[in-house]
């Protein structure tokens, strides 16, 4: 275990690496109108960029992330990041929409490095401070998610939407070097081979009810998140007449959601994870209803975005703190079940949100996004009731 000072530095490197890597999944969201124009496709078709990137990420989570329990972690992360950089360059120079979509899938698959590094943080952190350190790394990851839209909008407004892909390719190479040189060596104890490793993932999902519950609830939360941020750019441009740069400024409101990560981690360390999760689910549903009712006001939309992001990110940190405590020797595989479920949910929600926006306007994705966390709240309430009734529940 690294000494405390070195551990803090390692967590900063992990946070930066996670943030810059996961940002690749979100750069396209505020650029969809420009991408649609550049390739001559509809807004609904442009929404496929987000959907396919998330599906690629889900595939990477299912197929690559379990290697974190089998392969030395630094080597796995740094080599994968090189392929991320190559995929980003292809996206930047794509001549037709089909090539751009294929590159988006590859960007999603290889950006899974962010989720390889989070269990690494949980492995390095002392048991009594796991929530705190995971929260620190998650803050970096969440800032990457939330600032990606602003950065891509600002870069697109100044230099064109393709530029952000070149910029990110360079960043991925920088991160690959940082990971290789600064993170400690970690070779997992699992040595049974890839096939048995993959088979054990289904066993984990079957044997751990807490993992199933947390994965489904966070998938519903991420579905609401995806429905909001996939559709709001169309609303901001079409209804409010914002420019690409102004859409980027609006996206800054989401950065407030990163404040939930360390707070949620500390709440989890103090034993308040269950009640905190219920509050987060309820807040997400309220935020989506407010976004629908207050769509005519940029201020109300911004407030709804802040509350939604706080709720979604807080719930994720609380969920990860719980599931990482289930089996210390299988954290990468546990994270595989958790994150694959989440991103499949997000990809489906993104696809439905685009179609709902085309059919019903802003009301469609807003109300759809409100229903999803309400389903999660029902799951949470059932589990809580069983616990209070004295029945075994995760």
pLDDT at 50: 83
Tell me how far apart the alpha carbons of residues 139 and 134 are, in angstroms, rounded to a whole number. Answer: 9
What is the maximum alpha-carbon separation in the chain?
Answer: 61
pLDDT at 71: 80
Tell me how far apart the alpha carbons of residues 291 and 383 are, in angstroms, rounded to a whole number. Answer: 29
pLDDT at 257: 62
pLDDT at 263: 67
pLDDT at 176: 94
Q: Is 220 exposed, middle or buried (0-12, 13-18, 19+ CB in 10 A)?
A: buried
Under 8 Å between Cβ of 188 and 65: no
Q: Is 353 exposed, middle or buried (0-12, 13-18, 19+ CB in 10 A)?
A: buried
pLDDT at 128: 64
Q: How far is CA 174 from the centre of its chain?
A: 21
pLDDT at 193: 76
Which of these, 343, 394, 357, lies nearest to 112 by C-alpha position? 343
195-200, long-range: CB within 8 Å, 24+ apart, which pairs? Answer: 197/66, 197/67, 197/69, 197/70, 197/333, 198/66, 200/330, 200/333
Structure tokens given for 100 = 């751009």
Under 8 Å between Cβ of 262 and 129: no
- Which three-class secondary structure state does DSSP give residue 27? coil
Per-residue pLDDT of the chain (394 residues; tens, 9 = 90+): 455 667 778 888 888 999 999 999 989 888 888 888 889 887 778 878 888 898 888 888 888 878 877 788 788 889 999 999 999 999 999 999 999 999 999 999 999 888 788 777 777 766 666 666 777 787 788 788 778 888 898 898 889 899 999 999 999 999 999 988 888 777 766 666 778 878 888 888 888 888 999 999 999 999 999 899 888 888 888 888 888 678 777 877 766 666 665 666 666 666 767 888 899 999 999 999 999 999 889 999 999 998 998 899 889 888 887 887 787 777 778 888 888 888 788 878 988 888 898 889 999 999 999 999 999 999 988 887 766 555 444 4
């Amino acid at each position: 275990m690294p000494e405390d000072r070195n551990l803090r530095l390692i967590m900063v490197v992990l946070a930066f690496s996670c943030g810059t890597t996961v940002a690749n999944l979100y750069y396209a969201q505020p650029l969809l109108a420009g991408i649609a124009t550049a390739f001559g496709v509809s807004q609904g078709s442009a929404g496929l960029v987000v959907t396919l990137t998330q599906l690629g990420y889900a595939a990477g989570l299912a197929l690559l992330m379990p290697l974190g329990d089998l392969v030395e972690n630094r080597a796995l992360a740094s080599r994968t990041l090189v392929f991320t950089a190559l995929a980003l360059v292809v996206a930047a120079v794509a001549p037709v929409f089909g090539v751009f979509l294929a590159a988006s899938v590859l960007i999603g698959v290889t950006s899974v490095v962010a989720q390889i590094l989070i269990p690494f943080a949980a492995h390095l952190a002392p048991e009594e401070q796991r929530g705190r350190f995971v929260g620190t790394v998650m803050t970096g990851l969440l800032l990457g998610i939330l600032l990606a839209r602003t950065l891509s909008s600002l870069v697109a407004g100044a230099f064109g939407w393709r530029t952000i892909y070149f910029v990110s390719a360079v960043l991925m190479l920088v991160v690959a070097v940082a990971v290789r040189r600064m993170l400690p060596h970690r070779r997992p104890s699992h040595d049974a081979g890839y096939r048995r490793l993959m088979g054990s993932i289904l066993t984990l999902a079957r044997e751990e009810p807490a993992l199933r519950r947390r994965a489904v609830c966070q998938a519903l939360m991420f579905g609401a998140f995806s429905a909001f941020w996939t559709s709001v750019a169309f609303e901001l441009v079409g209804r409010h007449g914002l420019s690409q740069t102004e859409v980027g400024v609006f996206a800054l409101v989401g950065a407030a959601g990163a404040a939930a990560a360390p707070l949620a981690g500390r709440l989890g360390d103090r034993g308040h994870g269950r009640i905190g999760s219920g509050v987060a689910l309820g807040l997400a549903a309220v935020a989506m209803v407010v976004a629908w009712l207050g769509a005519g006001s940029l201020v109300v939309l911004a407030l709804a975005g802040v509350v939604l992001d706080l709720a979604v990110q807080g719930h994720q940190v609380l969920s990860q703190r719980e599931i990482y405590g289930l089996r210390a020797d299988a954290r990468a595989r546990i994270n595989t079940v958790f994150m694959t479920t989440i991103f499949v949910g997000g990809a489906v929600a993104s696809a439905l949100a685009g179609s709902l926006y085309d059919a019903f306007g802003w009301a469609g994705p807003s109300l759809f996004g409100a229903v999803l966390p309400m389903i999660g709240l029902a799951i949470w309430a059932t589990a809580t009731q069983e616990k209070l009734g004295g029945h075994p529940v995760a």
